[in-house]
Amino acid sequence: MRTKTELVYTGRYTDWTREAILAEVEKQMKPSRFQHVLRVEACSIALAKKYGASLEACSLAALLHDFAKEHDAKSMKKIVLSQALDSEMTGYGSEIMHGPVGAYHAEKVFGIMDRAILDAIRQHTIGGEVMTLIGKVLFIADYIEPGRTFTGVDEARRLAEISLDEAAYFKIEKTIIHLVKKELPIYPGTIHVYNSWIQRKVGNSE
Ligand code: GDP
Ligand code: FE
Ligand code: FE
């Protein structure tokens, strides 16, 4: 069984059916990653129901979020440069580029124009200084889908039951700690997002 949702698209965001999107997404990646995408969609729909986001928008953002993940770095770089995205991304590899490049494909291939869906896909790896509800749903669903097993994921799942913002802040903080521990380079955009969330958090508690 490939599909776990009864969701039928209204045509509001794309002419593509959910089935046609699944077939196209499946072509872009290995089977295990496609299963991850389906789990992120199921998890996004559950969060969307809980927090009152559009199920259709969250489904689309989830299905397309890792569209570019396995594309070669050279083609991603080309898109980053031709679309005048932050050229600094090209120094941080596909992990940093696949969100923004995925958003480009969502628009070009699937005709999605909705800003919140495109931003959610664009921001899904590092988050954003400002995020919409759809963006937060995808950001958290990608982090806590049932296939994730890292230390701390249960705490992230618990926080997601209480507050999307708390869960988002947790992911932003833990990701920085993880990158430092692994001695991985941190893309400046990742730091900007952390700074803006921590400043809001401290500001709120004063
Ligand atoms: P996935 O595409 O489903 O695997 O999930 P993501 O798009 O969230 O994450 C891709 C990877 O990028 C994760 O392993 C993150 O830890 C990593 N990542 C996030 N921010 C940065 C960063 O600033 N620098 C580097 N080097 N990696 C990052
Ligand atoms: Fe991703
Ligand atoms: Fe993902």
Q: Judge whether 7 lies within some domain.
A: no
Encoding tokens for residue 195?
A: 């700074």
Among 108, 126, 106, smallest CA distance to 116 is for: 106
Q: In this predicted structure, what is the pLDDT of residue 87?
A: 97
Q: What is the pLDDT of residue 100?
A: 98
- The reply to whether 199 falls in a domain is yes
Residue 170 resides in a domain: yes
**Full pLDDT tens readout for the chain, 206 residues:** 455 677 889 999 999 999 999 999 999 999 999 999 999 999 999 999 999 999 999 999 999 999 999 999 999 999 999 999 999 999 999 999 999 999 999 999 999 999 999 999 999 999 999 999 999 999 999 999 999 999 999 999 999 999 999 999 999 999 999 999 999 999 999 999 999 999 988 777 66
Q: Ligand 1: which of 30, 125, 136, 172 to mutate, most ligand atoms within 8 Å of CB?
A: 125
Q: Give the 3-state secondary structure of residue 46.
A: helix
Q: In this structure, is the dihedral angle defined by the CA atoms of residues 122, 125, 126 and 128, taken in order, positive or negative?
A: positive
Residue 12 inside a domain? The answer is no
Give the total number of structural domains in the chain. Answer: 1
pLDDT of residue 201: 83
Read out DSSP for 54-118? -HHHHHHHHHHTTTTTTS-HHHHHHHHHHTT--GGGGGSHHHHHHHHHHHHHHHHHH----HHHH
Q: What residue numbers bound the domain in which 29 lies?
A: 18-205
**Considering the domain boundaries, does residue 5 fall inside one?**
no
pLDDT of residue 1: 43
Contact of 79 with 101, CB cutoff 8 Å: yes
Contact 136, 165 (CB under 8 A): yes
Specify if 180 maps to a domain: yes
The rounded distance, in Å, linking the Cα atoms of 163 and 167 is 6
CATH of the domain at 95: 1.10.3210.10
- Which ligand 1 atom is at minimum distance from the Cα of 187? 23
Residue 24 in any domain: the answer is yes
Query: Model-level pTM?
Result: 0.96
Confidence at residue 204, expressed as pLDDT on a 0 to 100 scale: 72
Structural domain includes residue 66: yes
